[in-house]
Structure 1
Amino acid sequence: MSLLRPSIAGRLLRAGAPSALRPVPGSTRFNTYTAVGTPLTTSDNTQSSALSKEEVKKSMTRHNQPDYTAEVDQASSTFSPIPKRVMNGSEEGDTLPAAVLSGAPIDLEARTVRIYKEAKPATQSGDWHSHHWRMDWDILEKGHRWENPLIGWQSSADFMQGTHISFKSKEDAIRFAEKQGYEYFVQEPNERKFVPKAYANNFLYSPTKLKHIRTK
């Protein structure tokens, strides 16, 4: 310390003094500040205003926070399907829908299913899948589908999109849809017509004008 100048040594001694021994004004002793400098607690010299709960809710900014005080909306929003009929046992017909007692969500009761027969693939694979009738759920639009920002694929929040059920006949699929209370439509398959062909038919005699086919 003898090698330092007296003025520098005095500044170092004042800076190295304990914080408890420094004089602190009484008004700022019990104040709390953030890193930015905004006071969190009010001191004695500031006027504290009591805010009601409604004013506090209005002052709070909600960006992506869920609103836990919102009322439960039973399939009446623009992102959920609305059932065409109420499954409470008062439906017409001899079949009582299983949705009355199954406890299934109302979003599932309002879905429309498609009953169709799968077509044979264009490759040389077998046609086993084209022998059965299949039932799948119609695609939901609006908020249930969006574009994946990473790869660009189509993403979906529909939990029934990749689900399908196979039946031996069309009547079994219709009976199952009516039993569950689903709205359904039947998509009939396109039947292919096979015309018998033979290479020898090119040389058959016909009394009409001679046929001349150019190949070049």
Structure 2
Amino acid sequence: MDARIYRPAKTAMQSGRAKTKHWVLEYERQDRTRRDPLMGWAQSADTRRQIRLEFDTKEDALDYAKRHKIAARVLPDHQRRKVLKSYADNFR
């Protein structure tokens, strides 16, 4: 039972940093997905992929994983890079 703990990055469709302040624990895929013959959708017998837990801190997520004996790995945090620009740079 493996899981990963990470802080999600900002999506390209949003200008703010919503949903990037919490740490997420998600289970790794254990079963292959198959194609449903009738509808063509992807199906799997692995129901743990539907579970997504959010925590305020990385330590809370690690404590939860230890309490429930979940082998978890922590992915590096996405740091935001600021590009300092001035309005006058548009006219150089």
Say whether the fold is shared (TM-score over 0.5): yes
**Unmatched 5+ residue regions in structure 1?**
1-110, 205-216
Q: For the residues of structure 2 that align with 1:166 and 1:202, how far apart are their CA atoms?
A: 41
Structure 2 matches for 1:18-97, cutoff 5 A? Answer: none
Q: How many matched pairs?
A: 92
Normalised TM-score (structure 2): 0.86
Structure 1 moving runs of 4+ over 3 Å: 201-204
Among 172, 178, 189, the alignment partner of 2:77 is 189
Instruction: Name the structure with the higher strand share.
Output: 2
1:152 aligns with 2:37: no
> After superposition, what is the alpha-carbon deviation per residue over 1:57-89, rounded to whole angstroms, capped at 9, x for unaligned?
xxxxxxxxxxxxxxxxxxxxxxxxxxxxxxxxx
TM-score of the superposed pair, with normalisation by structure 1: 0.39
- In structure 2, give the amino acid aligned to 1:119: A
Q: Take 1:125 and 1:196, find their aligned partners in 2: how far apart are those partners?
A: 17
Q: Take 1:186 and 1:167, find their aligned partners in 2: how far apart are those partners?
A: 13
Alignment counterpart, residue 19 of structure 2, candidates 107, 121, 129: 129
1:115 shift after superposition: 0.4
Identity of aligned residues (%): 35
| Cα gap change, 1:154 to 1:202, in 2 (>3 Å) | closer
- Give the match for residue 114 of structure 1: 4
Bigger radius of gyration among the two: 1
Distance 1:119 1:202, change over 3 A: closer
- Report the Cα offset of residue 159 of structure 1: 1.7
Q: Which has the higher contact order (CA 8 A, sep 6+)?
A: 2
